[in-house]
Amino acid sequence: MIPYVPVLSSTVSPGQCVLGALLLVALGTACQQPAPSIQSHLKGQVLVDSSADGLDAYRDVRVLVVRPDGRRLDTLGHARPGPDGRFQMPISAPKRGVYALSLWGRGGREQLASTEYVVAPGDTAALRVELPMRGDGLRPVSPENRALQAYRTAMSMHQRLLTRRLRTGAAGANAQVQNIRLTSSVLWRLQDRYPGTYAAEFAAVESLSLLEGWNDSLVVARARQIPSSSPRYVDAAHIARRAEARRHGHRAALTLLDTLEARADNSWQRAGVQAARIQAFLDSAQVEPALSASQQLRARFPNTPWARWARRTEYEATRLQPGMPAPSLTLRTLRGDTLSLRSLRGRPVVLEYYRPGLDLYTLQRPLRNALHDATRADSVAFVSVSIEPDTVVNRAFLQHRRLPGHRAIAADGARDSLVTRYNAVRVPSWVLIDSAGTIVDRYQASDLPALRQSLTQLLQPEQSAPTPLSLP
């Protein structure tokens, strides 16, 4: 191996134009970032095998950390390796989270590799790349990114166990519970191995999501231990509320929400917990209390996204409850076909809303895909709607990511009728519609296991007591 030596090149093939354009947008907006609040650092070395074919692809390499923002990409970090292949990259991000780390060749016109990358205060990561790349691709090393890799490994293990069960035909709930307990335990213990890291805090709440409905007492006990610094504190509150309602009823769930709201760090979290209260009333078919709680949320937290969510509570209470007819939708898929929900009658529909690049969707998309892969195309229809209206951002997101099923873009974003008819303000979210066109239930990011169980029951109507989680 020899150090990479940067040489300018303007060579670009037609198939690389979209990716090259995205990078040029990112470079062009490098001086137009939003005011940053998080600082971290990435350093490393890019080496090139001088005997490799196609060396021109590795000329003038760039290393970038970016995030999509409407019609542009915000460049959070940008580096060009020196003559010895080494580089140093300060990274400035608006908040702690998962962003895109990518390596580009041909002067920034061809993407060579990409991965998810955690940016957190004070974190310093190291990256060594050998070109041409073989094996695992980009592997940044730091406490934060080790935690992210451990989270991915745990979720991959969980998917493998579930897939193996499907392939071998193993029956019974015991094997399922063992798989869930094992994965949940591994995810929960990441806090001990990687204390205070973004992915470990994320994983802790994911462990609650897996346990929900299987061990609700443990869910509630662990939810009380989730720190308010967690990026998913509000998700933990929503999960715990449902678990406590199953254990001790509606009033107990409201009392738990009072406790969790008192522990919240900021108005965004408190508003999110108040939203869980609204949902608790809706789940109990108490429309008037739900509307009253909605008015209180808007009055207390008028400048939060939750206030906008609450404004549609009345519509949701009267149009989007389980057992009601699913609102009609007709959409144009990315393939150019016209698709309506009515045309899908006769089989269940999983209607999905997401935003490209969102942390929750990035980390939970493999579970969503596993659910799709466990069903037949003629038995369940998956319809995914991106609430990001920009086609360039959507194309970049889907370029190297698998998202099977029917896909569409809401041209007017969150204001598009494709979105407002199902009040999909908070994403990712899913709506399960039965074969007769009736809403079964609605699910947020933390509810994927519940969606899985509901879909299983729809696909096994002949069983008087269907085994939950027979799908991955």
User: pLDDT digit string (tens) for 338-353?
Assistant: 999 999 999 999 999 9
Confidence label for 461 from pLDDT (cuts 50, 70 and 90)? low
Residue 6 has pLDDT above 60, yes or no: no
Residue 455 lies in a domain: yes
347 exposure class (CB count in 10 Å sphere: 0-12, 13-18, 19+): middle
The percentage of residues in the chain with a pLDDT greater than 90, rounded to a whole number, is: 53
Contact 158, 185 (CB under 8 A): no
Phi, psi of 361 (to 5 degrees): -70, -35
User: pLDDT digit string (tens) for 58-117?
Assistant: 778 999 999 876 557 789 999 999 989 999 999 999 999 999 999 998 877 888 899 999
Residue 275 lies in a domain: no
Confidence label for 35 from pLDDT (cuts 50, 70 and 90)? low
CA 357 to chain centre: 8
Q: How far apart are CA 215 and CA 66, in angstroms?
A: 39
Number of domains present in the structure of the chain: 2
For residue 13, what are the domain limits?
Answer: 2-139
Structure tokens at 106: 């041909």
Rounded mean pLDDT, 140-152:
96
Domain of 93, CATH number, reads 2.60.40.1120
Q: How far apart are CA 35 and CA 184, in angstroms?
A: 37
pTM for the whole thing?
0.69
Q: What is the mean pLDDT of the chain?
A: 83
User: pLDDT digit string (tens) for 101-132?
Assistant: 999 988 778 888 999 999 999 999 999 999 88
Residue 44 lies in a domain: yes
Residue 123 lies in a domain: yes
* Residue after which a domain boundary falls, among 139, 154, 172: 139
Residue 194 lies in a domain: no
Rounded mean pLDDT, 242-249:
94
The percentage of residues in the chain with a pLDDT greater than 70, rounded to a whole number, is: 83
Q: Higher-confidence residue: 170 or 453?
A: 453
Residue 312 has pLDDT above 90, yes or no: no
* Residue after which a domain boundary falls, among 110, 139, 168: 139
Helix (H, G, I), strand (E, B) or coil at 34: coil
* Residue after which a domain boundary falls, among 90, 109, 139: 139
Structure tokens at 225: 């231990």
Q: How far apart are CA 67 and CA 278, in angstroms?
A: 32
